[in-house]
Structure 1
Amino acid sequence: MALQKLSNGQLTEQSIQSLCHLLAEELSLAENISRKETDFQKFQEVHFEPKQRIKNLRKKIHSLAAESRDVTKGMIMTRRNQNQMIAQNRNMSFESSENLTSLYAMMSRKIRDEVFKQLKENESQNFYEDLDNFYAEELQWRNEQNREMIGEFREREAQAKASLFEANVELSNQQLVVDDLNFRMKNDEKVKNRLREEIGNLRGNLRDLLKEKAEFEEDKRNIEIIKGQFRLQKEINEMIWAEFLRLEEERDFLHDSLTKSLEKMQEMNLEKIENFDETLRKVELDFG
């Protein structure tokens, strides 16, 4: 309602108070936004976040809150200056009116006393006629003074209305700035909500990654265990192979030894057979 009166060029004491109350609410809202931004900053410091985007958004919101506070303070100061100017104009008007009234009354008394004195001294025969003329002149002079005072008051009223209109225009411009800042802050609030949602998604992804990392660490430990078992098995295989090679060498040695022994035994057997055959022939010859 106060803004509607402001747009229509009408502003009363009640509408001024409403505007002041509205400006105070805007200032309180800016302070609440700044406090919420501080809380949100602490929240961001504790939790995981895309730092650069949040940092830029936080700077932008602080800047908007500061601009909103400055504009709101400027509107309050403009309204105070306007109220002071209106009060000064009223005081000047009242003081001028009182001064002119007292000056007029004093001059009227002096003129009336002087005229009565002159009429009494001259003992004019046309006393009442002169008195009527005097009152007529005095009334005409009073009307002229009243017209001059009314013209002066109207001029001052026009100046005050012009100043009030300029102040109202300034208030309207500043209100537009405040509305624009509020609109931008609402958009930034939407951006903050979207970033919060993205942060929640990132936290969910982070939990999944941590779970996968734990599983990977478990698989890595199992692989290390398998590698240890493989190295142990390799060492056992190397020991078995070395033992196998040793046994093969022993087998070859035994084989060679047995082969030589068999060959020697065959030679001995052949010699024995030959000796037996020779003995047998001798016996046959002897008993022949």
Structure 2
Amino acid sequence: MNTTAFLSAEELQRLQQRKQRGRYFEWLALMAVLIGIVVLLTLLIDVFLDGLPWLRPELFTHFPSRFPEKSGLRSALQGTLWLAVITAILSFPIGVAAAIYLEEYARDNWFTRFIEINISNLAGVPSIIYGLLGLGLFVYGLNLGRSLLAGALTMTLLVLPTVIVSSREAIRAVPRSVRLAAFGLGATPWQTVRDHVLPYAMPGILTGTILAMSRAIGETAPLITIGALTYIRFDLRGPLDLFTVLPIQIFNWISLPQKEFQQLAAAGIIVLLAVLLLLNTTAIILRIRLQKRW
């Protein structure tokens, strides 16, 4: 039945005006999306045109050099991989344990709410603040110097709120009936979490952790603050060595006046984008393949 037949002429006019405004807003939103896509494609095309000729094996096997044709990303790639692995090792167990406590064990009181509010706020703090914290706490306070371990600890602080929030959401998504069924069979709270809640929540936890690692790999400001802006021409041997990472090496090349280094920076951007896309794709695949349907 056509409901507009029961409306007066004035109501019909207002309805048409609302529909017209809705169409205007739809076109405005579409234009905003198209402008963003066009700008992104323009930047990507420019980067690929400059960087593709420099994507050669020497880019991955050579250390940085004063000569563009001899320069490469070997030390930066090693630093990025080391940083990602150490950050994941530190942030994953701490973040998941904090999420389990807040969701399964913490009482609903002012102290718990205070912690939750601060975790949510920390997730939105600018990354440079974490760099300053890492500089004062790890580089000078714990005398770790400008080492890889200091950088990994700083990035752990940066991504930890994101890991906690995403892990809590994944744990919260597990139906309460799963917990009640386990309790009904005599399981303890820890057995319920270990054997039932965590296996079902693990896809979401892993997805959030991988996305947090993607942010850690792409960050530059905190690492510049703690002193990762270093010229490295040796292989990393341990977490106490000086280090550099892909974003820092790209920043170094862009700051040089020679055109060849600008093109090398474009090649480094392509490599960094490939690493980030690989991590994001892994997160999507994990979410799809391991997700439980209720």
Tell me the TM-score normalised to structure 2 length. 0.27
Tell me the TM-score normalised to structure 1 length. 0.28
- Structure having the higher helix fraction is 1
